[in-house]
Amino acid sequence: MGFVLLAVPVIAVVLFFLLKKMQYQHAVSVTASIILVILGAFLTREVMLYGTVEYTALGGIFYIDALSIIVLDIVVIIGFLTSVYSIGYLEEELREGKLDQGRLRIYYILMYAFIFTMLLALTVKNIGIMWVAIEATTLSSAFLVGFYNGKDAIDAAWKYIIICSVGIGIALLGIIFLQFSSIGVVESSQFLDWTALFNNAADLKGPTLRLSFIFILVGFGTKVGLAPMHTWLPDAHSQAPSPISTLMSGVLLNGAMYGIIRIVAIINHSFGNSIFVGRIMVTVGVLSVATAAVFVFTQKDYKRMLAYSSIEHMGIIAIAIGFFTPLSIFGGLLHMINHSFTKSMLFLSTGNILQKYNTKEISKIRGMFKLLPVTATVFLLGLFAIGGAPPFSVFTSELLVISSIFQENNFLVGGLLILLIAIIFTGIVVTMFKMFYGNEIPRETSPGEGNIPGVVTIVGLLVIITAMGLYIPGELKGLIENAVKIIIGG
> pLDDT tens, 257-278?
999 999 999 999 999 899 999 9
Residue 447 has a CB neighbour count (10 Å cut-off) of 12
Q: What does the alpha-carbon distance between residue 223 and residue 42 come to, in Å, rounded to a whole number?
A: 30
- Rounded to an integer, what distance in angstroms lies between the CA atom of residue 375 and that of residue 354? 11
Burial class (CB within 10 angstroms; exposed 0-12, middle 13-18, buried 19+) of 418 = middle
pLDDT for 111:
96
> Considering just the CA atoms, what is the radius of gyration of the chain in Å?
21
Rounded-to-integer distance, Cα 164 and Cα 142, Å: 10
- Contact yes or no for 237/307 (Cβ under 8 A): yes
pLDDT at 453 over 80: yes
Instruction: Label residue 443 by pLDDT band (50, 70, 90).
Output: low
Going by pLDDT thresholds of 50, 70 and 90, the confidence category of residue 444 is low
Instruction: Write out the residue range of the structural domain in which residue 308 sits.
Output: 2-488
Q: Provide the mean pLDDT of the chain.
A: 92
Query: What's the structural domain count of the chain?
Result: 1
Reported as a single tens digit per residue, the pLDDT across 92-116 is 888 888 888 888 999 999 999 999 9
Distance between CA atoms of residues 213 and 277, nearest Å: 8
- Please name the amino acid found at residue 127: I
Rounded CA separation 111/393 (Å): 28
User: What percentage of the chain carries pLDDT values higher than 70?
Assistant: 97
| pLDDT on residue 415 | 96
* Cα dihedral value 209, 213, 216, 221, nearest 10: 170
Q: Can you give the pTM of this predicted structure?
A: 0.95
Contacts of 193 (CB under 8 A, 6+ apart): 125, 126, 127, 186
Predicted confidence at residue 192, as pLDDT, reads 86
Assess whether pLDDT exceeds 90 at residue 334.
yes
Do 140 and 114 contact (CB within 8 A), yes or no? yes
Spacing of C-alpha 359 from chain mean position:
25
Query: Which band of pLDDT confidence, cut at 50, 70 and 90, is reported for residue 363?
Result: confident
Q: Report pLDDT for 478.
A: 95
Number of Cβ within 10 Å of residue 225's Cβ equals: 32
Angle, helix 101-122 to helix 22-50, in steps of 10 degrees: 10
pLDDT, tens only, 184-229: 887 776 788 888 899 888 888 878 899 999 999 999 999 999 999 9
Percentage helix, strand, coil for the chain under 3-state DSSP, each rounded to 5: 80, 0, 15
Q: For residue 11, which amino acid is it?
A: I
Confidence of residue 282 (pLDDT cuts 50, 70, 90): very high
Over 90: is that where the pLDDT of 40 sits?
Answer: yes
Q: Which of 148-157, 336-345, 463-472 is the least confident region? A: 148-157
Backbone angles phi, psi at 194, to 5 degrees: -70, -25
Tell me how many degrees the CA angle 116-118-123 measures, rounded to the nearest 5: 95
Q: What is the pLDDT of residues 169-182, one digit of tens each?
A: 999 999 999 988 88
* Helix H or strand E segment including 63: strand 63-64
Question: Looking at residue 185, what is its pLDDT?
Answer: 80
Q: How far apart are CA 238 and CA 284, in angstroms?
A: 24
Give the whole-angstrom CA distance, residue 65 versus residue 50: 9
DSSP class of residue 64 equals: E
pLDDT of residue 218: 95
* CA distances (Å), origin 125, targets 48, 60, 235: 19, 9, 32
3-class DSSP assignment, residue 194: helix
pLDDT above 70: residue 445: no
Single out the residue of 283, 280, 278 nearest to residue 265, CA to CA: 278
Burial class of residue 410 (count of CB atoms within 10 Å of its CB; 0-12, 13-18, 19+): middle
Q: Is the pLDDT of residue 488 over 90?
A: yes
The pLDDT of residue 112 = 96
